[in-house]
Amino acid sequence: MSALDAFRLDGKVALVTGGSRGIGRAIADALRDAGAEVWVTSRTAEGAERAVRGTRLKGATCDVSDAAQVEALFERVGDVDVLVCAAGLSSAGRASEVSPGEMRRMHEIHVLGALACAQRAHASMKARGGGSILLVTSVWGLAGQPGTLPYGAAKAALAHSVKVLALEWARDGVRVNGLAPGFVETAMTAEVGEPVKEKLLSRVPLRRAAEPDEMAGPALLLCSPAGSYVTGHILVADGGERAR
């Protein structure tokens, strides 16, 4: 196989939670361009329908924090070879004021939601001789960032999960990796005010935010046979910030 052929996913089925827009959508498009049949999710039927209109993507609804909806999603999609867990949203607030409910909500979406999907995908991948799972964490789960405790703590737990799942599932041929983006221009970060954004980007050596498409290449590497000897790794795509 040539080095470029190793990025192909012909005949494979991929599921991207949170693939209706933003980073998940950019990754879904890349997996589809690499030859996979790709399912994307939204929490609403309208969101799923809008996301796949005029594309070769397939749409499904799922709120990943609801175990019954995750079960129904996998019933609908069937066996998968590639799972990308990109579903998520952020949460801001000072640690002194953070409620247990908000800590729980972030955990339910980012950690329990991704774990439920990963467990379901692992079972089907194991039965088929292997597969690859990519959990989208964040640089804010790798280092502290004031004002992000519920989100950062959940992403840190997700980053830890990458390591444990990779160790436990390697024997089944299932690779598990993480992608830790820095600041990416999406609906999620559109909520960040200009002064805060400017301050955050002033610390980025590349001096700009990323576009969602810039997450697609790193994701394809980890999801495809091009990354066949990579597991338990968290690829940081942050414009160089963590090189400091």
Q: Mask: binding to ligand NAP, 164-203, rule CB under 6 A, as x and -?
A: -----------------x-xx-xxxx--------------
Q: Which of 7, 39, 151, 183 is catalytic?
A: 151
Closest CB to ligand NAP among residues 124, 138: 138
Rounded Cα distance between 210 and 25, Å, is: 14
Instruction: Kindly state the smallest distance separating residue 129's Cβ from ligand NAP, in Å.
Output: 29
Rounded Cα distance between 230 and 226, Å, is: 9
Q: Tell me which residues in 61-120 interact with ligand NAP (CB under 6 A).
A: 62-65, 86-89, 109, 113
Asked if 234 interacts with ligand NAP (CB under 6 A), we say: no
Closest CB to ligand NAP among residues 124, 186: 186
Closest CB to ligand NAP among residues 8, 118: 118
Asked if 149 interacts with ligand NAP (CB under 6 A), we say: no
What residues pair up with 184 in beta bridges, in sequence order? 210
Q: In what order do the strands lie in the sheet with 13-17?
A: 58-61, 37-42, 13-17, 82-85, 131-136, 174-181, 234-237
Q: Nearest-CB residue to ligand NAP?
A: 22
For the chain, what is the radius of gyration of the CA atoms?
17
Structure tokens at 242: 């963590």
Instruction: Kindly state the smallest distance separating residue 117's Cβ from ligand NAP, in Å.
Output: 10
Cα–Cα nearest to 43, from 27, 56, 61: 61
Asked if 24 interacts with ligand NAP (CB under 6 A), we say: yes
Instruction: Kindly state the smallest distance separating residue 175's Cβ from ligand NAP, in Å.
Output: 20
What are the CA-CA distances from residue 139 to residues 34, 76, 163, 199 (Å)? 27, 33, 16, 16
* DSSP tag of 71: H
**The only residue of 23, 30, 153, 236 in contact with ligand NAP, by rule CB under 6 A:** 23
Residues 6+ positions from 178 with CB-CB distance below 8 Å: 134, 135, 136, 137, 158, 159, 162, 233, 234, 235
Rounded Cα distance between 63 and 41, Å, is: 9
The verdict on whether 229 is a catalytic residue reads no
Residues tagged active-site = 151
Q: Name the residues that contact ligand NAP, by CB under 6 A.
A: 17-18, 20-24, 42-44, 47, 62-65, 86-89, 109, 113, 136, 138, 181, 183-184, 186-189
